[in-house]
Chain A
């Protein structure tokens, strides 16, 4: 982010200028562009759309799909919906946190490789407990499988 040229956001914002209800789609596109929603970008969007900073911040923090912190290269979503919860998603989560040295508050590794989040339901209850890493689905997870999955990603990264 440090050297990100905010004017690169202009084409995104341009299409929405003066239109009601454009904040959420703009934030989406900005997040896709930058990877997260740094405060400087929120300010830029607010100024461009003539919205109060407090409003943009409120919306950016309300939706879980928005992140104010940089995310890891791999975003892991552990499903904690009813089916997954019953079938042991808590253990999956615990194992992931241990392996990645993350906590409930600290969700991204210092090397920006992994971000670990929970979601309410991925809609794949048949595969419970389930998680996704970026767009790939991992069903029938067990704590034992975690190490391999992570190692596999580490490997592909090198």
Chain B
């Protein structure tokens, strides 16, 4: 349709608002309460425009109609807007001099534009409210609030934490958390994502750690990718001098967080970048003490020692650990270093401890080990089946997107031994026994087939081996599964029916599925479930492993695994050996290398030296005492990291690396999206990006690696890695890409296996239930699970060096059920000792009903109470992932 704005004709679509059409055509209409990401309230009245008959209407809330005539700049409009600003100013402190928002305040801009130095209704002499800041993250000054409600809507509609709402009314109206106890109050559900601050048009909401660190015009800004979980949020680092002082939002439709979402880690845990503990100089251990040395000395020494072992014991005596925290380019170089310079396939990384079983399972079933669908498709699903994953804590931005979908009617099944936040949103809420997943999922398939709810056409056209599983699952009636999993048979039936009847059912899973002796079987069972109902290869469905680290997907993609070259090209395939031999000019190792846990098992025996980049196995790997012994048994250990980690303490050489904020490269997020990482600050001291360090070391060892920039490394990756074939930094500056992206013209792939599986036909694998390796007995009478929590990340090297995060969550803990606590006489915050067959740990008790009686949960982030001193290194045969989720322990109160 056609409409007229300021006497000029414009095209508009039915359903658009006047404001949308105006903005599309770059006609300026001021707003205070409007955001394209939020619902419309028309509260601020700033976007007033004039339509026929001199009527003044809010542009944001007025739909266009054919032939509409609109004036955005008439005298009446001007006067109306001026009156609104005048009224707002009458209750707003004129303290711009010291206000954090000075230079970045919509109200200030409008007052300037309309020439209002102060309100004609008088000046607000004294504050009417108290400033609320009883939390480490966000300061709220209600006197600066204009009650536009953007923060309330951002909280309720995007973040879905329901932490704030309007309280009181009239002149006393104030945005408040529950019972006006502040965002940090006991009953507050705020998770400190910062979206309210980002949406605030004035200085009412501000980041506490950034106070007096500089105002908008003082700050340099750089877009980059978050260094925490696998969601891969795009963030804006704001920098003053050489320090990141604030993390703001990026709004990009083509990103995993289009509405500028983040979580507390991405938003606030950045001060580790500039932390005094950062490594500044290379270190060599001389007589048991670390001594600062030059790069030249450190590299020469490292090259000599590696060369010595290689010559004495052969290349297989060396192993490398790459890093899911480092860029794609660096992971590529690390595995190239191990394969080309050293000559071994023994290169692995912590994906072994998280999703090795996913890669193994999904590759077998579908032909590709990655998340099948995209994050944005949470909006398209009719049902989520979340099993062994706690999205609102571990992938918070995806957790919020799920809540948005749930609010609109998407159904939910949650299966988790613990009561996670999403459990309370679930239509079917299941608490299976740890390690009973195969029985549970098989029983769901049993119900689906017996009740004829399976997708016969999909099974016939798209898959093979259905008969095999059909016979296997006959044994898994819901009643049998009830005995194994503790889940009532009727609940299993309900879950099965709900899942099967949904048109687009999406499975989401994480460590609760993978970190088991039967991890690969667990994944295969889920793949079977999805294929039985035809839920693969379509939008809003799929089997979706949520990857834990920022670049764990990329580290796997680029071949930091002992059995594959970049792009999952098998090292035992002669054609691939030939391809890489030629490309790299080497004599390739033709056998699969050792995995993480195997490397440590062989330390001091077949493995003499290890090169570790950005990993901290002393905290992340199972059975800590064993890992420590293994590190001591090595002849030579090089650790390249940004901090002196618990692992680096054991090193002979420590090389100081650059953090994500100090280098270029790319990360690949959980949905296979490749995104740029951009340098924002200079590295401290002599720290260097990992790609440079590896290149220098390779050159010292006589293998030339001359890359001027990571973009050149990516070009080499593209030439050798079909799934990254069209990925170049130049393209990524325009648009992020999701692999497979085979060539420069390919736009990337939103969801996998459409029309055909990566392996051709989807393959059913019959799997049978096997109990976990450890059982409770008279001595060890509880089952302990490990995991993560919202505020901390992995081994805590980053988040525990954030002052704000640590102020919120300082101490390690173990979750205990209130019934067990009562029986043992343990109260909240009591000191307790948890003992397994491998070690003991002291920590604080957290008593409640998140875990079931007989079970415990301990986050593994804490060096002083390392959960992994207790865990069992028993491995999944197929994927070599240890069983971190089931450890038999005993619990005692420390008096």
Q: Which residues in A have some Cβ–Cβ distance to B below 8 Å?
A: 39, 42-43, 50, 52-55, 57-58, 61-63
Alpha-carbon distance between A46 and B372 when the two chains are bound, in angstroms: 38
| Interface of chain B residues 177 through 208 with chain A (CB within 8 A) | 177-180, 187, 189
Q: Is the CB of A53 within 8 A of B166?
A: no
Q: Is the CB of B176 within 8 A of A54?
A: yes
B168 neighbours in A (Cβ, 8 Å): 61-62
Alpha-carbon distance between A42 and B179 when the two chains are bound, in angstroms: 9
5 CB < 8 A contacts A-B: A54-B163, A57-B165, A57-B180, A58-B176, A62-B169
B167 within 8 A of A: yes
With CB as the reference atom, state the residue of chain B lying closest to A54: B165
Q: Is the CB of B189 within 8 A of A54?
A: yes
A43 neighbours in B (Cβ, 8 Å): 187
Q: Knowing that A57-B180, A58-B176 are A-B contacts, what are 12 other residue pairs whose CB atoms are under 8 Å apart, sorted by A's residue number?
A: A42-B179, A52-B165, A53-B178, A53-B179, A53-B187, A54-B178, A57-B165, A57-B179, A58-B165, A61-B167, A61-B168, A62-B167
B178 neighbours in A (Cβ, 8 Å): 52-54, 57
B179 neighbours in A (Cβ, 8 Å): 39, 42, 53, 57
Q: Is the CB of A53 within 8 A of B189?
A: yes
Residue total for B at the interface (Cβ-Cβ under 8 A): 16
B164 within 8 A of A: yes
Question: In this complex, which of B177, B178, B180 has the most chain A Cβ atoms within 10 angstroms of its Cβ?
Answer: B178
Q: Secondary structure at chain A's binding surface: helix, strand, loop or mixed?
A: helix
| Interface of chain B residues 731 through 763 with chain A (CB within 8 A) | none
Alpha-carbon distance between A52 and B157 when the two chains are bound, in angstroms: 13
Alpha-carbon distance between A91 and B824 when the two chains are bound, in angstroms: 65
A104 CB to closest chain B CB (Å) equals 12
Q: Is the CB of A54 within 8 A of B169?
A: no
B162 within 8 A of A: yes
B163 neighbours in A (Cβ, 8 Å): 52, 54
Alpha-carbon distance between A50 and B176 when the two chains are bound, in angstroms: 19
Alpha-carbon distance between A5 and B368 when the two chains are bound, in angstroms: 57
Alpha-carbon distance between A43 and B179 when the two chains are bound, in angstroms: 9
Question: In this complex, which of A54, A57, A63 has the most chain B Cβ atoms within 10 angstroms of its Cβ?
Answer: A54
Alpha-carbon distance between A42 and B165 when the two chains are bound, in angstroms: 15
Alpha-carbon distance between A43 and B185 when the two chains are bound, in angstroms: 14
A62 neighbours in B (Cβ, 8 Å): 166-169
Alpha-carbon distance between A110 and B230 when the two chains are bound, in angstroms: 57
Alpha-carbon distance between A1 and B56 when the two chains are bound, in angstroms: 51
A105 CB to closest chain B CB (Å) equals 12
With CB as the reference atom, state the residue of chain B lying closest to A58: B165
With CB as the reference atom, state the residue of chain B lying closest to A52: B162
A42 CB to closest chain B CB (Å) equals 7
Alpha-carbon distance between A63 and B189 when the two chains are bound, in angstroms: 23
* Shortest beta-carbon contacts, A-B, top 6: A52-B162, A53-B178, A58-B165, A54-B165, A61-B167, A61-B168
Q: Is the CB of B167 within 8 A of A57?
A: yes
A55 neighbours in B (Cβ, 8 Å): 162, 165
B539 CB to closest chain A CB (Å) equals 30
| Interface of chain B residues 268 through 320 with chain A (CB within 8 A) | none
A52 neighbours in B (Cβ, 8 Å): 162-163, 165, 178, 189
B670 CB to closest chain A CB (Å) equals 29
A53 neighbours in B (Cβ, 8 Å): 178-179, 187, 189
| Interface of chain B residues 416 through 463 with chain A (CB within 8 A) | 424
Alpha-carbon distance between A50 and B167 when the two chains are bound, in angstroms: 19
B187 neighbours in A (Cβ, 8 Å): 43, 53
Alpha-carbon distance between A54 and B164 when the two chains are bound, in angstroms: 5
Alpha-carbon distance between A62 and B168 when the two chains are bound, in angstroms: 4
What mask results when residues 460 to 484 of chain B are scored 1 for a CB within 8 Å of chain A, else 0?
0000000000000000000000000
B164 neighbours in A (Cβ, 8 Å): 54
With CB as the reference atom, state the residue of chain B lying closest to A42: B179
Alpha-carbon distance between A50 and B180 when the two chains are bound, in angstroms: 19
A42 neighbours in B (Cβ, 8 Å): 179
A103 CB to closest chain B CB (Å) equals 16
**With contact pairs A39-B179, A52-B189, A53-B189 given, residues A58 and B166 touching in the complex (Cβ less than 8 Å):** yes
A69 CB to closest chain B CB (Å) equals 13
B885 CB to closest chain A CB (Å) equals 30
B189 neighbours in A (Cβ, 8 Å): 52-54
A63 neighbours in B (Cβ, 8 Å): 169
With CB as the reference atom, state the residue of chain B lying closest to A55: B165
B169 neighbours in A (Cβ, 8 Å): 61-63
Q: Is the CB of B167 within 8 A of A58?
A: yes
With CB as the reference atom, state the residue of chain A lying closest to B174: A61
What mask results when residues 406 to 424 of chain B are scored 1 for a CB within 8 Å of chain A, else 0?
0000000000000000001
- Find B177's partner among A39, A50, A54, A61 (CB 8 Å cutoff): A54
With CB as the reference atom, state the residue of chain A lying closest to B180: A57
Alpha-carbon distance between A125 and B348 when the two chains are bound, in angstroms: 85
